Structure 1
Amino acid sequence: MKPYHVVSGGAVVLLSGLAILGIAVFPEAQVLGLSPISLAILGLYVFAVFLLFRVEKRDGVPEESDAETMTMARAILGFSVSAVVIVVAGIFLIHASKNIASGSALSGSFIGAILVAIVTSLPELATSIGALRIGAYDMIMGNLFGSNMFNILTIFFADIAFRRGSIFSGLGAQAPNQLLIAILGILMATMAVMGIAYRSKRKVLGIGIDSLSLLVVYMVSVALIVFRGIDL
């Protein structure tokens, strides 16, 4: 297991822990109109990125892959166009999700935790499959942990946009549900790091025992969210 996977996976756990503090302990606290937890999340994210850069510079070795060579200009153009498409699609997705929540018995918490989370993770899934096909195995884990780190960082930007105090105070009655989701996220992130470190070769139905365990925990988590009756 490469050190930067430990750093990025550990950062996901720590960032999630900070989010839990914001939800459960300091929902009303503010510094310059922002939650101190949001500021701590920003600081930890920057520090984690710095550590990742240092570890990569110290230990990183260019990963061999089976990808066809591409000019830098073409690669940058393709990356930029793909990023714009994802951002635009994300804006439409949120509006559509809000309408689904308004016109159904499903709550915003459920829509966000399950449906929106799945749809917004599809680009990561596609990226991981593409990386697997070209043999860029480290890119897969970097993508998964890195995207989780940035997802939690968006709490900071949401706090800036939220003008009625701390973003955590705006959760209101939904705070316990979001707390459950954050705790389950920490559990799965920890399991993922342990699975990468242990590298079990045992498989069930062709699936690694660690991956299968994550799938089981995810399904149980979804069941918990549903059966808790998050505004259903």
Structure 2
Amino acid sequence: MCAAIIAIAGTRITRVVDQLADRTGIGEAAAGALLLGASTSMGGSVLSVTAAWHGNVELAVSNALGGIAVQTFFLAVADMVYRRSNLEHAAASVPNMMHNGLLICLLALILFAPYLPDVTIGGIHPITPVLLAVYFYGIYLVRQASQSPMWRPSVTRETREDTPDDVTEMPPLSRLWVEFLILMAILGIAGWSLEPAATAIADQTNLTQTVVGVLLTSVSTSIPELVTSIAAVRRGALTLAVGGIIGGNAFDTLFTAASDIAYRDGSIYHAMPEDSKFWVVLTLLMSGILMMGLIRREREGIGKIGMESTVIMALYVFGVVMLLSGVQASG
């Protein structure tokens, strides 16, 4: 039920964000990264924080990191839906590439944290404020690059740039903001309700919290990203589709920082299981490949699917197989 609520509210919020992008003039890339990415990630962030507060480190971390991986996988699925050319070619933009670079930096910091001394200040590891500072400074750099880009992707016949719709036919700005905040609150409540269900599933089955986090909760809370990216692609809002996924992924790394604040038994980074570290490495690899695809901008691949999208999907499936094989071996 929680997953269904997240899917419905997350789908609805895409249209609202697209109209807010045109109404406010911030553009699809920024709206996708900041508004759509943060709002559709609300369910997952609340779930991770709640799990950390209850001491379920494995669920908190695997939900956050598994969500980034599956959302990158969803971007490859959206590439399959868009048939005119490869999505990496048509939606290449400076903000999207900057956000992807920021994501790689944030993931590297999470992976670096367990190798630092296990020291906390007020129960918070020093890497947590660093993560927050890097994220907000990165958002500032993305905005600067959007306003005054030092270079631009070459425009081709397949390139789809951000073209605002007629704002006179849209609802008032105040109504859009109210609807956005209500839908965002619904997503957060659904994520809060999903945590005890996920914990119960892990307790009453042979599945570990990592399996539940990567395959159940992260997929459930990431359904809006899949639906919204496909809906945005079909509407021709390609920059919004890619920006929503990549920006949401960068925002999702803050799940770990927020979970460290909520976790009261020390550093959550040093309590991370090895399976969670594996997903950080895998997601880093997927993000690097996506970055290369946005720069390379292959027009068409086999079956009109980008080579990078094919590799990203294969890597995610490989990660799931490795995770399930580990469960069978331990069983």
| Normalised TM-score (structure 2) | 0.64
Alpha-carbon distance between aligned partners in 2 of 1:210 and 1:139, rounded to the nearest angstrom:
19
What is the percentage of aligned positions where both structures have the same residue?
26
User: Equivalent residue for 1:117?
Assistant: 218
Alpha-carbon distance between aligned partners in 2 of 1:180 and 1:35, rounded to the nearest angstrom:
21
Q: What are structure 2's unaligned runs of at least 5 residues?
A: 1-91, 153-160
Trace 1:171-186 onto structure 2 (pairs within 5 A).
171=272, 174=273, 176-186=274-284
Instruction: Output the amino acid matched with 1:55.
Output: A
Trace 1:1-232 onto structure 2 (pairs within 5 A).
1-23=92-114, 25-26=115-116, 28-59=118-149, 63-64=162-163, 69-171=170-272, 174=273, 176-229=274-327
Write the deviation string for residues 75-108 of structure 1: whole angstroms up to 9, x where unpaired. Answer: 2122112211111111122121111111111000
Write the deviation string for residues 174-231 of structure 1: whole angstroms up to 9, x where unpaired. Answer: 2x11110100010111111111221212333343322122111110111122223386
Does the Cα contact within 8 Å between 2:124 and 2:261 map onto a contact in 1? yes
Write the deviation string for residues 144-176 of structure 1: whole angstroms up to 9, x where unpaired. Answer: 1111111111222111111111112333xx2x1
SS at match of 1:164: coil
Alpha-carbon distance between aligned partners in 1 of 2:108 and 2:290, rounded to the nearest angstrom:
16
Alpha-carbon distance between aligned partners in 2 of 1:31 and 1:13, rounded to the nearest angstrom:
26
Alpha-carbon distance between aligned partners in 1 of 2:101 and 2:217, rounded to the nearest angstrom:
25
* Number of matched pairs: 227
Q: Which has the higher contact order (CA 8 A, sep 6+)?
A: 2
Alpha-carbon distance between aligned partners in 2 of 1:202 and 1:63, rounded to the nearest angstrom:
21
Write the deviation string for residues 21-44 of structure 1: whole angstroms up to 9, x where unpaired. Answer: 113x02613244311221211111
Alpha-carbon distance between aligned partners in 1 of 2:266 and 2:184, rounded to the nearest angstrom:
31
After superposition, the Cα gap between the structure-2 partners of 1:27 and 1:150, relative to the gap in structure 1 and judged at 3 Å, is farther
Instruction: Output the amino acid matched with 1:189.
Output: S
Alpha-carbon distance between aligned partners in 2 of 1:87 and 1:49, rounded to the nearest angstrom:
23
| Normalised TM-score (structure 1) | 0.89
Q: How far apart are 1:65 and its partner, in Å? A: 5.3
Instruction: Output the amino acid matched with 1:223.
Output: V
Alpha-carbon distance between aligned partners in 2 of 1:27 and 1:218, rounded to the nearest angstrom:
31
Q: Between 136-145 and 11-20, report the one with greater CA deviation.
A: 136-145
Alpha-carbon distance between aligned partners in 2 of 1:114 and 1:22, rounded to the nearest angstrom:
25
After superposition, the Cα gap between the structure-2 partners of 1:211 and 1:116, relative to the gap in structure 1 and judged at 3 Å, is same
Does the Cα contact within 8 Å between 1:4 and 1:55 map onto a contact in 2? yes
Alpha-carbon distance between aligned partners in 2 of 1:221 and 1:66, rounded to the nearest angstrom:
40
Q: How far apart are 1:63 and its partner, in Å? A: 1.8
Q: How far apart are 1:124 and its partner, in Å? A: 1.1
Does the Cα contact within 8 Å between 2:229 and 2:244 map onto a contact in 1? yes
After superposition, the Cα gap between the structure-2 partners of 1:27 and 1:135, relative to the gap in structure 1 and judged at 3 Å, is farther
Instruction: Output the amino acid matched with 1:106.
Output: L
Q: Between 157-166 and 124-133, report the one with greater CA deviation.
A: 124-133
Q: What are structure 1's unaligned runs of at least 5 residues?
A: none
